[in-house]
Amino acid sequence: MPSAQLIDGKAVATDLRAAVAARVGGMYARLGLRPGLAVVLVGEDPASQVYVRNKHKQTEACGMQSFEHRLPADTAQADLLALVARLNADDAVDGILVQLPLPRQIDAQKVIEAIDPAKDVDGFHPINAGRLATGQPALVPCTPLGCLMLLDRTLGAEMAGRHAVVIGRSNIVGKPMAQLLLGRDCTVTIAHSRTRDLAETVHGADIVIAAVGRPEMVRGFWIKPGATVIDVGINRLPPAAAGGKDRLVGDVNFEEAKAVAGHITPVPGGVGPMTIACLLSNTLQAACARRGIDMATL
């Protein structure tokens, strides 16, 4: 049985964080400035708390300031908007991330649009989405940016002219991912829950980005032999389904796909660690852009 080469997102993320930390060190040594990242968590979702804790640790580990704001689940929209306004005005804050999903009483789109686009390190503000779509410098959403970095390392210039199929059309992953792949001269298809013959569409792909949020939905026989498979899904299977202990799986059936693909990302240890590393990189980028610093000189 042939076996795909693993794309080690954890290792690439470690390299990226080291590069960010080096520039953060240069910024402090030369200018006495430390980039600051504010993370806002509304409610008590236990999975979200793990991400927030990891982000906090890694932010400090690379020399940036980390500001955490935990609000109760019944927080009023006006109070969250008031906090965002304070963070927009706070010069020590270069990046603002409001963890999604938000509780029902809060309109997430309103909150996203309230964030200063210059501090929008998630890249979810329509200004940044529009800049990405029109090929202008932008803050790019962390998960698709991390996927692109893995593809750059794996395929490089070979991406040009390849057929990429993105499964999922969210504003957070699918749509920005498609824009980034277009920027690498891929021929891009965005597939989704209403796509007919999804298996057949995926089978035409040299590059598959799975971002559907359904555990192990993409089967091995869907994959074209030798294709590059990037699995964005992070699904926690409950103990019963996983045979005793809870287990993290992607949107791709990994065991099946790795027998067919040329390269594949694992879950965990693939796209997830890249997402956090890209958040730190975006925070450094925002800190430099806001202050007119050329990042290459740090």
Ligand X SMILES: Nc1nc(=O)c2c([nH]1)NC[C@@H]1CN(c3ccc(C(=O)N[C@@H](CCC(=O)O)C(=O)O)cc3)C=[N+]21
Residue 188 binds ligand X (CB under 6 A)? no
Catalytic residue check, 105: no
Q: Is 43 annotated as a binding residue?
A: no
Contact letters (x/-) for ligand X, 74-113, by CB under 6 A?
-----------------------xxxx-------------
Angle between helices 142-154 and 9-31 (to 10 degrees): 110
Smallest gap from Cβ 185 to ligand X, in A, equals: 27
Residue number with the shortest CB distance to ligand X?
272
Q: Distance (Å, rounded) from C-alpha 143 to C-alpha 157?
A: 21
Give the residue with the Cβ less far from ligand X, 38 or 205. 38
Residue 269 binds ligand X (CB under 6 A)? yes
**Span interacting with ligand X, options 19-27, 202-210, 268-276, 280-288, rule CB under 6 A:** 268-276
Catalytic residue check, 285: no
Query: Which residues pair with residue 95 across a beta bridge?
Result: 37
Catalytic residue check, 251: no
Residue 52 binds ligand X (CB under 6 A)? no
Smallest gap from Cβ 47 to ligand X, in A, equals: 7
Q: Is 200 exposed, middle or buried (0-12, 13-18, 19+ CB in 10 A)?
A: exposed
Q: Spot the catalytic one: 55, 119, 175, 258.
A: 55
Q: Distance (Å, rounded) from C-alpha 284 to C-alpha 125?
A: 18
Neighbour tally for 268: CB within 10 Å: 13
Strands (E), 150-282: 163-167, 187-191, 207-210, 228-231, 235-237, 247-249, 263-264
Q: Computed from CA positions of residues 142, 145, 147, 150, in that sequence, does the dihedral angle turn out positive or negative?
A: negative
**Span interacting with ligand X, options 82-90, 146-154, 191-199, 266-274, rule CB under 6 A:** 266-274
Q: Distance (Å, rounded) from C-alpha 150 to C-alpha 137?
A: 20
Q: Is 168 annotated as a binding residue?
A: yes
Residue 11 binds ligand X (CB under 6 A)? no
Q: Is 193 annotated as a binding residue?
A: no
Residues 6+ apart with CB under 8 A from 156: none
Smallest gap from Cβ 108 to ligand X, in A, equals: 9
Known binding residues for NADP(+): 168-170, 234
Catalytic residue set: 55, 99, 122
* Residues in binding site: 168-170, 234
